[in-house]
Amino acid sequence: MTLTGHSLIAGQPVVGAGKTAFGLNPATNAALEPTYTLITEEQLTTATVAAAAAYPSFSTLDPDTHAAFLDAIADNIEAIGEELIIRAGQETGLPAARLQGERARTTGQLRLFASVVRQGDFRGVRIDPAIPDRTPMPRVDIRQRQIPLGPVAVFGASNFPLAFSTAGGDTASALAAGCPVVFKAHNAHPGTSELVGQAVVKAVKDFNLHPGVFSLIYGPGASIGQALVADPAIKAVGFTGSQAAGIALMRTAAGRPEPIPVYAEMSSLNPVFVFEGALSGSAEQINALAAQYVTAVTASSGQLCTSPGLLFAPAGEPGDKLAAAVAHAVSACAGQTMLTEGIAGSWNQGTETLGSAAGVAVVGQGTPGPTENAPAPTIFGTHISEFVANHVLHEEIFGAASLVIRYSSTDELVEAVNRLEGQLTASLQLTAEDYPTAAPLIPALEQKVGRIIVNGWPTGVEVGHAMVHGGPFPATSDSRITSVGTLAINRFLRPVAYQNIPQELLPVPLQDTNPWHLNRRIDGVIEAAAVVKDEVNA
């Protein structure tokens, strides 16, 4: 596929009238062709107006066409082939195996949401039939369904050039809800974004949808990103990135004449709690646990939103053995190229600040990598009293760094959890003998995280129906939602009730004949679509 270096607005390449930018290879900091033109705020309006114009037809698309459209995007992404993996690797420094897995996750998400659209429960159909002879007052006919919010602005993430980017989870769930998308590409991987953007545009054209269903734009985040969120045509925002950028978008969205929701995933330390039973085994078992922890910290150079930034280990000999095993494991690790020069610089600054804090020492350190922007992975250590007292030790370091915290009691752990800000995950490493000790921690963690894990690690987020990838602020801007899994579609829907509406005027999902064969809640009781379908066929 040919890279144009331009935005794709309502199906057409648009030469930006603003400044220009390059993708950069983070291993060398060398510029990559082509030059990308950045749009102005005036050009941005073309995309948002087109998205608003696309809403009426796209939001009412029949399930079969809608689902097939999502499947086609997945097919088109796979059809790009090795070119996509090569370009993404050049722009991010991520290895091919990681990117191949991320591509599979991207297409898998799209196909999962296609199945959600076919099944249709997200439409939330509820019908309370009229009861005209009810006393003392008759009941009117009331029907409810979920409708799409409207055009959604989605921001690409730096650390997931595919799965949280052009056709990633936010875009996939918004399109599945029936919302047109205006996607703001991350300037760190513009070529990757354009390749996937072309795949989405092709699907829009092939299904003869309104071209405003999808636009891909390039521009400075501080101006175009803010203008996109402020645009009156935009009705919701999906964002994955830094806490500072997420909060800036939230303020803009809240300050509009019509405030809109911003679903932002921002920062998390993902604490791991190790109990004594998990360290009561052989030296080999302790070494294995340490190796798993270090792998979770260093995978993808630690640039994962679920990388464990904290590990609580018991004081005394069991914790000493674990700390020694961690030091040994990390010493064998070499630094991996980070996504950008700026991210590597922030990692260096963060580790310098943490390492110079009172009561903090280096537990173990790897070696720098062979390329630029590949610092040595580092594990620090401190006591839980220092952690509770010093908020600097609670700050996220985006990259391969973590802090081991030694504790003596469950009460100390509960206090530490209560001092934590909101997190995406918390993990417990334990055996059955630790259950009584760990039990008080569960209710405390429920107030702080979106996902609690036992004898596993937070990295590797399963994309499915039960997953929650969210948590209390500042992990996300809204603790009621998830950005991964089928529940993510709910972010872009709202309920509407229809009272005493004639059948001829009702939306298709609410009609008595149930043409789309949806599961519906009738007078509080779920009526399976298969039952209705069988009655119609009979």
Q: Tens digit of pLDDT for each residue in 242-289? A: 999 999 999 999 999 999 999 999 999 999 999 999 999 999 999 999
Superfamily of domain 8-266+483-490: Aldehyde Dehydrogenase; Chain A, domain 1 (3.40.605.10)
Inform me whether the pLDDT recorded for 394 exceeds 70.
yes
Q: Which three-class secondary structure string do you get for 372-439?
A: CCCCCCEEEEEEHHHHHHCHHHHCCCCCCEEEEEEECCHHHHHHHHHHCCCEEEEEEECCHHHHHHHC
| 3-state SS class at 343 | helix
Span 470-484, average pLDDT? 97
The H-assigned helical ranges of 93-242 are 96-119, 169-177, 190-206, 226-230
- Point out which residues pair with 274 in neighbouring strands: 429
How many CB atoms are located within 10 Å of the residue 435 CB?
13
pLDDT digits (tens, 9 = 90+) for 51-103: 999 999 999 999 999 999 999 999 999 999 999 999 999 999 999 999 999 99
Confidence at residue 536, expressed as pLDDT on a 0 to 100 scale: 43
What is the amino acid identity at position 21? A
For 460-489, what is the mean pLDDT?
Answer: 96
Cβ 270 vs Cβ 125: under 8 Å: no
Q: Given pLDDT bands bounded at 50, 70 and 90, which one contains residue 538? A: very low
Residue whose C-alpha is closest to residue 131's, from 496, 527, 506, 524? 524
Distance CA 281, CA 279 (A): 6
Report which DSSP code applies to 52.
H
What's the rounded Cα separation, in Å, for the pair 408 and 69? 56
Nearest to 31 by CA among 40, 39, 22: 22
CATH number for 272-454: choose from 3.40.1390.30, 3.90.470.10, 3.40.309.10, 1.10.10.10.
3.40.309.10
Alpha helices in 222-316 (DSSP H): 226-230, 243-254, 283-298
DSSP 281: S
Q: Would you say residue 316 has pLDDT above 90?
A: yes
At 524 the three-state DSSP class reads coil
What is the DSSP-derived secondary structure letter of residue 504? G
What is the pLDDT at residue 534? 47
pLDDT above 80 for 530: no
β-strand pairing of 401-407 with 378-383:
parallel
Give the per-residue pLDDT at 221.
83
- If phi > 0 it is left, if psi is from -120 to 50 it is alpha, else beta; for residue 460 that is left
Cis check: omega of the bond before 474, within 30 degrees of 0: yes
Q: For residue 36, what is the enclosing H or E element?
A: strand 30-37
| Closest residue by Cα to residue 6 from 32, 44, 38 | 38
Q: pLDDT band for position 532 (50/70/90)?
A: very low
Could you tell me which of 153, 177, 121, 131 has the C-alpha nearest to residue 44?
153
Q: Which is higher by pLDDT, 422 or 372?
A: 422
Strand-pair partners of 317 = none
Q: Catalytic residue, from 91, 102, 194, 265: name it.
A: 265
Quick: pLDDT tens for 499-529.
999 999 999 999 999 999 999 999 999 999 8
Mean pLDDT, the chain, as a whole number? 96
Tokens encoding 207: 């299904």
Answer yes or no: are the C-beta atoms of 478 and 472 closer than 8 Å: no
Q: Is 333 a catalytic residue?
A: no
CA-derived radius of gyration, the chain: 25
Q: What is the pLDDT of residue 526?
A: 95
Check if the beta carbon of residue 417 is closer than 8 Å to that of residue 444. Answer: yes
Domain parsing of the chain, residue ranges: 8-266+483-490, 272-454
- pLDDT value of position 324: 98
pLDDT at 118 over 70: yes
Residue 1 has a pLDDT of: 83
Is residue 446 annotated as part of the catalytic site, yes or no?
no
Q: Measure Cα distances from 197 to 52, 82, 201, 216, 395 in Å.
A: 19, 16, 6, 6, 35
Which helix (H) or strand (E) is 84 found in, with range?
helix 82-92
> Quick one: 13 exposed, middle or buried, by C-beta within 10 A (0-12, 13-18, 19+)?
middle
Q: Give the pLDDT mean for 227-253.
A: 97
Q: Which two tokens stand for residue 206?
A: 């092939």
Query: Residue 456 pLDDT more than 50?
Result: yes
Q: What is the mean pLDDT of residues 167-190?
A: 97
Q: Which two tokens stand for residue 136?
A: 């003392």
Q: Is 448 exposed, middle or buried (0-12, 13-18, 19+ CB in 10 A)?
A: buried
**48: amino acid identity, one letter:** T
Going by C-alpha positions, the residue among 232, 200, 193 that lies closest to residue 7 is 193
Q: CA angle, 66 as apex, 62 and 70 as ends, to 5°? A: 170
Structure tokens belonging to residue 144 = 């409810």
What integer pLDDT is reported at residue 535 of this predicted model?
47
Among the listed residues 102, 179, 194, 305, the single catalytic one is 305
pTM comes to 0.95
Question: How far is residue 54's CA from residue 178's CA, in Å, rounded to a whole number?
Answer: 10
Question: Could you give the percent of the chain with pLDDT greater than 70?
Answer: 98
Q: Specify the amino acid at residue 510.
A: L
Q: Is the pLDDT of residue 537 over 60?
A: no
pLDDT for the residue 344: 96
- pLDDT tens digits, one per residue of 127-166: 999 999 999 999 999 999 999 999 999 999 999 999 999 9
User: By the 8 A CB rule, do 213 and 204 touch?
Assistant: yes
Residue 364 has pLDDT above 70, yes or no: yes
With bands split at pLDDT 50, 70 and 90, how would you rate the model's confidence at 372? confident
Distance of alpha carbon 191 from alpha carbon 91, whole angstroms: 8
